Amino acid sequence: MSHTFIAGAGMVRFGKYPVDVTFEKLAAGAARSAMADAGAAVADIEAVYVGHVFGGPVAGQRVTAQLGLSGLPVSNHENYCASGATAIREAWVAITAGLYDIVLVIGAEKMTDRVSGGVMPDPTDLDAINGMVMAANHGMSARRYMYDHGATREQIAAVAVKNHAHSVHNPYAQYQRPISLREVLDARVIAEPLGLLDCSPISDGAAAVVLCSAKGLAALGHRSAPRIAGCALVSGSTVTSAASINAEDVSRRAAEQAWAITGIGPADVDVVEMHDCFTIAEIVRLEGLGVVPHGEGAKWTASGETSIGGKLPVNPSGGLLSRGHPVGATGVAQACELAWQLSDRAGDRQVEHAQVGLAYCKGGTVSGTDGGSVTVLLVHR
């Protein structure tokens, strides 16, 4: 059993790129940046783990061939919006098993060429066929949350205001200007009560990390680096999904697995990168994890407790809402942000004195379950 460290992190700025900026170019750009950050040469990398959804067959091998990393073990991992996080998890397992000392993990997606008007649900998803598409689901979640906890529309909208304020300081974010509460409230309605600025955008982008065993870390000349304490993975359950749209049983189970693997508890977490595909999702998932008290998430957000400087800063990167959401890249981008936060390299969005970071991804829906896949990654100094 070996520990796993994040020796380097790199991204290309998330956004909308023209057709000739391909999946391969975005992914290779992030990989080069992470390798440079780690001080890792081509010859140092032993294996490559790639997360993507829309890149097509052997997408990772097309990227590694461009990087001069050809010939290595390359595996492609898909778990919808948790694909990048799943790739990190498999790499962590392989290092834990003692199979490798230095590996590259890449998450990438070129969405603007392929996706228009939002990611479509699977054609066999009976819930979606009957109208429960992503936005509708989260709109209902918001209404129920407001009813159950007396939360206001403004408190939910405050998630978007906060995350956009954070990413003003993130050079890799798709959006880097602050937005006002008024702008969120006045935006075009998507699924009542949620409007356009409550929804994460369609994005292109890539992120990469170099993961190492203790031996690999020393070989690259590092004395220390943020360490992956563990990564949980669960899928949605058919048993519990009917309880309430905001039951978040899948988040609770993922958190419990993460605490069990790592010995870290919810009170230890200092900074969170949360899968805020919609504003309300950030709130209910924080509560599902148990890092924010049940029913308090909206209030915490509105009063600044989840802002940088607050009790538990959430999405200092800007999150999916403002850093952007190239689906396969998101989980790896979260890991980049935690690596930078936990080595005091996050610039003007640094969370002071953060010791433990948590990243949460949720990927896909499956008819009759409370989600496709959920990952919880725990990283500490």
Give catalytic residues, as residue numbers.
81, 325
The residue from 13, 166, 253, 275 that contacts its own copies (CB under 8 A) is 253
If binding is defined by CB under 8 A, does position 326 make contact with its own copies? no
The one among 65, 136, 146, 196 contacting its own copies by CB under 8 A: 65
Q: Which of 23, 335, 328, 299 is nearest to 158 (CA)?
A: 299
Q: Which two tokens stand for residue 292?
A: 């924010």
Q: Which of 7, 38, 45, 94 binds its own copies (CB under 8 A)?
A: 94
Q: Which of 36, 68, 129, 345 binds its own copies (CB under 8 A)?
A: 68
What is the Cα–Cα distance from 12 to 270, expressed in whole angstroms? 26
Q: Per-residue DSSP letters for 306-325?
A: TSTTSSS-B-TT-HHHHT--
DSSP tag of 196: G
Question: CB of 295: closest distance to its own copies in angstroms?
Answer: 25
Q: Answer yes or no whether residue 122 interacts with its own copies by CB under 8 A.
A: yes
Name the residue nearer to its own copies (CB basis): 1 or 267. Answer: 1
Residue of 41, 70, 126, 130 interacting with its own copies (CB under 8 A): 70
Q: Which stretch binds its own copies (CB under 8 A): 36-44, 186-194, 310-318, 361-369?
A: 361-369
Least gap, CB of 69 to its own copies (angstroms): 9
Q: How many CB atoms lie within 10 A of CB 135?
A: 17
80 binds its own copies (CB under 8 A): yes
Q: Which is nearer to its own copies, 64 or 246 (CB)?
A: 64
The two three-digit tokens of residue 62, written as one number: 């097309």
CA angle (80 as vertex; 17, 111 as ends), nearest 5: 15
102 near its own copies, rule: CB under 8 A: no
209, exposed or middle or buried, with CB in 10 Å at 0-12, 13-18, 19+? buried
How far, CA to CA in Å, does 287 sit from each of 64, 203, 229, 304? 39, 27, 22, 16
Whether the Cβ atoms of residue 88 and residue 335 lie closer than 8 Å to each other? yes
Q: Which residues are at the interface with its own copies (CB under 8 A)?
A: 1, 22, 24, 47, 53, 56-58, 61-62, 64-65, 68, 70-80, 86, 89-90, 93-94, 96-99, 122, 124, 232-239, 250, 253, 363-369, 372-373
